[in-house]
Amino acid sequence: MKKNKSEITIVGGGPVGLFLGICLSQQGIDCTILEKRAEPVQDSRSLGIHPVSLELFEKSGFVNEFLEKGISIIKGLAHDGDRILGSIDFDQFEGPFNFILACPQFYTERILLAKFQELNPDGLITEATVRRIKQSDQEVSCWYLKAGKENCIASKYIIGCDGKNSLVRKESGILYEGKQYPDTYIMGDFDDNTSYGNQAVVFLPKQGLIESFPLPDNMRRWVVKTDSYIDSPTPSILVELVQQRIGADLKGLKKTMISSFGVQNFSAENYFKDRVILCGDAAHVVSPIGGQGMNLGWIGAWLLAKALFKIKMNPEKETELLSDYQKQQKKIVKKASRRAEWNMIMGRKQLFPFLRTTMVQLILKTPLKKVALKIFTMKNLY
């Protein structure tokens, strides 16, 4: 459907753009999402949904859809490859969601999409690639290509939820500053032949980290630290590394995904400029070790929708309310990024592995365990 006006245009219908669209629609704010893909992602990608996000989904009235599709991780084990060093029981939390939900991104996006379309049936334009934007005092225009034709939609605000390479951010001249870490990983989903059930396991052998998470449909995600980036990842590379480091045998198992990734930490200098606002990876990227990025985007979307609702009621407070969104979200991201960095450093190849083993045991057998519990479950971020 062709539209040329919308109160708010969201560029990017990934997990963050869709959730933001839901939050805005629920507050009676008219919004349109422009998404270049035709369909939600087909693979498992981002997995970990933390209690803080489940609480937001509950407030938005659709947490059960996630609980039906995902697997509740109730315990995390630390293992040095030979023996269990300790464990963290997530059910020590207060609150209804005392677990981390493992839900593949293809389910997550489908659930969010269905909810958004229920609230705003004409609100999503797919196969729409945004190419440029132009701001004036009163509105911002966004040109996108669909079926070979250029279209334009005008709004009060454009929100860039278009990921880490955000065109919206670049077009508005907002700086994106940060660094690439030397850390690299290979990951894959395999049939689960372990006895770990609903437990996540972090293996800390001296050659570098291996993480293993339960997935729905009797599958398991394996993430393995590598010495350098692997351009053409194959299941056999991952299988061999797991075999060498911890002796687990994944040979011959059914697999559904294999990829490699590097690690970055970036943040936009500002999360808004005139009529352009940023949210999700377009505004900030943290290390995926710890599985926080998408959850951070959802927290930001929630805060931003609240700010935009207040602006609608009190337009004269626009700058103040957007500055509050930026300040609060930057603080949350900074905290989360320190936690992600700590997780990543602990997983690096160690010259003196017994020092790390002793530290992990100390943490998991003393009151410091509560701190680790907070770090792994994104508690107390705001």
Ligand X SMILES: Cc1cc2nc3c(=O)[nH]c(=O)nc-3n(C[C@H](O)[C@H](O)[C@H](O)COP(=O)(O)OP(=O)(O)OC[C@H]3O[C@@H](n4cnc5c(N)ncnc54)[C@H](O)[C@@H]3O)c2cc1C
Q: Under the rule (CB under 6 A), what is the footprint of ligand X?
A: 11-17, 34-37, 45-48, 129-130, 161-163, 167, 261, 280-281, 288, 291-295, 297
Strand, coil or helix: 31 = strand
User: Is the Cβ of residue 199 or residue 361 nearer to ligand X in the bound state?
Assistant: 199
CB of 176 to ligand X, least distance (A): 13
User: Is the Cβ of residue 205 or residue 288 nearer to ligand X in the bound state?
Assistant: 288
Cβ-contact 18, 112 below 8 angstroms: yes
CB of 183 to ligand X, least distance (A): 12
Q: Residues 324-357, buried b or exposed e (16+ Cβ, 10 A)?
A: ebbebbbebbebbbebbbebbebbeebeeeeebb
CB of 185 to ligand X, least distance (A): 7
CB of 194 to ligand X, least distance (A): 19
Instruction: Find residue 210's DSSP bridge partners.
Output: 203, 224
User: Is the Cβ of residue 135 or residue 361 nearer to ligand X in the bound state?
Assistant: 135
Residue identified by tokens 């930001």 is 300
What is the distance between the alpha carbons of residues 28 and 55, in angstroms, rounded to a whole number? Answer: 21
- The number of residues in the chain equals 382
Q: Is the dihedral of CA 128, 129, 132, 134 positive or negative?
A: positive
Cβ-contact 11, 142 below 8 angstroms: yes
User: Is the Cβ of residue 76 or residue 357 nearer to ligand X in the bound state?
Assistant: 76
CB of 180 to ligand X, least distance (A): 13
User: Is the Cβ of residue 178 or residue 353 nearer to ligand X in the bound state?
Assistant: 178
Going edge to edge, which strands form the sheet with 176-191?
A: 84-89, 75-79, 199-203, 210-215, 219-226, 176-191, 255-268, 284-285
User: Is the Cβ of residue 125 or residue 357 nearer to ligand X in the bound state?
Assistant: 125
Q: Residues 100-125, buried b or exposed e (16+ Cβ, 10 A)?
A: bbbbbbbbbbbbbbebbbebbeebbb
CB of 286 to ligand X, least distance (A): 8
Which candidate, 255, 253, 278, places its Cα nearest to that of 267? 278
Tokens of 153: 């939609």
User: Is the Cβ of residue 268 or residue 311 nearer to ligand X in the bound state?
Assistant: 268
Going edge to edge, which strands form the sheet with 272-273?
A: 124-125, 31-34, 8-11, 157-160, 276-278, 272-273
User: Is the Cβ of residue 181 or residue 353 nearer to ligand X in the bound state?
Assistant: 181
CB of 19 to ligand X, least distance (A): 8
CB of 229 to ligand X, least distance (A): 13
